[in-house]
Amino acid sequence: MFSDIPYNLYLALSGILFTIGAIGAITRRNAIIVFMCIELMLNAVNLAFIASGKMLSSMDGTIFVFFIMTVAAVEAAVGLAIFVMVFRLKQTINVDEINLLKG
């Protein structure tokens, strides 16, 4: 299945997914949606690494994907825990209303 589709289409899809994630992360105000957009960008990078690794007949892309998936899992766990604590404190997860660093 992977060899039937040209690699350029995988890279184009990766670019489209990354762009959608970047636009969502920049324009949205809900912290959970921003978080999901960042995850979408990470998955787009994973797709590009897998396609590039397959195109070059190398396992390097797959190894990078395992590292990125590990970091994304840790990010999700820590990020969601932070969002729960912020919601308990402020009763909102709107990034415009969260100003915990102001003195």
pLDDT at 92: 87
Say what the pTM is. 0.82
DSSP for residue 94: B
pLDDT at 10: 93
Task: List the chain residues with pLDDT less than 50.
Answer: none
- Is residue 30 classed as helix, strand or coil in its secondary structure? strand
pLDDT at 1: 59
pLDDT at 18: 97
How many Å apart are CA 10 and CA 37, to the nearest integer? 19
pLDDT at 103: 62
